[in-house]
Amino acid sequence: MIPTDIEKAYIAGFFDGEGSFGIAPNLNQVMIEVTNTNEDILTWMCTFFEFGKYSRSKQLRSKQTHRIYISGSVEARIFIESIGPYIRVKKEQVEIIREFLNTIPLEWRGHKVSDEVMLQRAILKGRISKLNQRGDRNDD
């Protein structure tokens, strides 16, 4: 099922408030996830993209939490291109993820990553980690 522009905007808004965008410690993949107590909304989102790993997370107080996790570069590209134009709060994180994905060849398997690309990825990871910190991010 292909989401409409309105549905993409809704999903983007949901991710602006509840989602997170990051880069794995090994610098080889992105991490996109959203956790929420409403199972229905997360399974609804999964139906549009037909990818993402769905799981039940820990019990939070009296409510069960649920999670969607996207880590594959192909899936991440599709997701970012779909919701990217509608993201507002996490626009900078989306741009960093987009830049990171550009360092991953479409045919990834078996390719050695140069030291230059690994350095670029490490810098991008640092930038997104700083943006993802809670509180005042302007303290240097």
* Domains recognised in the chain with CATH numbers: 5-132 (3.10.28.10)
| pTM for the whole structure | 0.84
DSSP assignment of 69-121? EE--HHHHHHHHHHHGGG--TTHHHHHHHHHHHTTS-SS-TTPPPPHHHHHHH
The pLDDT tens digits for 22-67 are 999 999 899 999 988 888 988 888 877 776 676 776 665 678 888 8
Q: 11 near 3, Cβ under 8 Å? A: yes
103-111 long-range contacts, CB within 8 A, separation 24+:
104/73, 106/74, 108/73
